[in-house]
Amino acid sequence: MLEFLFPKKCIFCERALPAGAAIEVCAPCAGSLPLFAGDYLMESGRAPNDRGCDRVICALRYSGTVRAALARYKFRARREYGHTFAALLCEKIRRVTAAAPGDGASGVGGAGCPPAIPSAPLAAPSIPASMPAHALALAPVFDLVACVPLSRSRARERGYNQAAVVAAGVAKYFEVPFAGRLLLRDEQALRQSSLRLAERRANASAAFRITAADAFARALSGKRVLLVDDIATSLSTLNACAAALKGHGAACVIGAVVASP
């Protein structure tokens, strides 16, 4: 009944979808989304003591309809979009994970972060038909899912953390715990969007901390963390969060973002 009165709309073009659509992407948009072509936005070429992300997985190019949909998601209270963004990101993570050899346990987040294995070239848009809770037959490749935090004041003004909504969906899909409050953003840190790149880097490393009182913080040692954000324009935020996680003992941090330019 609710769906009859308020039909679901495609998050990209806002056309009404047929009743019962599992994720909110219409067929024409599914066929024309700017998918992120490679497996990784960033692949580790890091020094062993570098504490940034080991790898960063990206689902979509931040352009056109994707950019507009993410803006509505963040600034126009379309919190429900998070479910569909999570489904799109899960599909990309699943592809990258499935490409790794072995039983699945050695995939992307396998012990000690093994070398990246390229997946098959992306021949056609790959949109999941739905996001069932038990879609994955793979062994868990991450121990927990965390998200890039918002400052308290920003969270208050928006009403939700857009990265957390996507991350919670991803955690549910992979059936691993969601550590939504593990990372904390320093209230005093300057707003990223008003800073130049060099300033952002310096600023980011000071801006993130582990919530010491969080239950996941006490058990972080040796854990493989999937760190979710909505948009990565530079990698400074993801790397700063990864450094905080590794500073508390995380063995491996794989970033996962919905979109990047």
- Catalog residues that contact Zn ion under the rule CB under 5 A: 10, 12-13, 26, 29
Classify 42 as helix, strand or coil: strand
Which residues make Cβ contacts (< 8 Å) with residue 152, sequence separation at least 6?
187
Instruction: Give the integer Cα–Cα distance in Å for 238 and 254.
Output: 9
Task: Calculate the CA dihedral of residues 27, 24, 144, 190 and round it to 10 degrees.
Answer: 110
Bridge pairing between strands 55-61 and 252-260:
parallel
Tell me how far, at minimum, the Cβ of 56 lies from Zn ion, in Å. Answer: 27
Tell me how far, at minimum, the Cβ of 18 lies from Zn ion, in Å. Answer: 12
Tell me how far, at minimum, the Cβ of 80 lies from Zn ion, in Å. Answer: 15
Q: Give first-to-last CA distance, the chain, whole Å.
A: 39
Question: Which one, 23 or 217, has the nearer CB to Zn ion?
Answer: 23
Residues in the chain: 261
Question: Which one, 15 or 152, has the nearer CB to Zn ion?
Answer: 15
Q: Which amino acid is at 181?
A: R
By the 8 A CB rule, do 61 and 232 touch? no
Tell me how far, at minimum, the Cβ of 16 lies from Zn ion, in Å. Answer: 10
Question: Which one, 10 or 144, has the nearer CB to Zn ion?
Answer: 10
Question: Which one, 84 or 239, has the nearer CB to Zn ion?
Answer: 84
Question: Which one, 11 or 253, has the nearer CB to Zn ion?
Answer: 11
Question: Which one, 65 or 151, has the nearer CB to Zn ion?
Answer: 65
By the 8 A CB rule, do 113 and 96 touch? no
Tell me how far, at minimum, the Cβ of 29 lies from Zn ion, in Å. Answer: 3
Question: Which one, 21 or 220, has the nearer CB to Zn ion?
Answer: 21
- Extract the tokens encoding 256: 């996962």
By the 8 A CB rule, do 174 and 258 touch? no
Instruction: Give the integer Cα–Cα distance in Å for 185 and 164.
Output: 13
Phi, psi of 259 (to 5 degrees): -150, 155
Instruction: Give the integer Cα–Cα distance in Å for 252 and 54.
Output: 7
Tell me how far, at minimum, the Cβ of 14 lies from Zn ion, in Å. Answer: 7
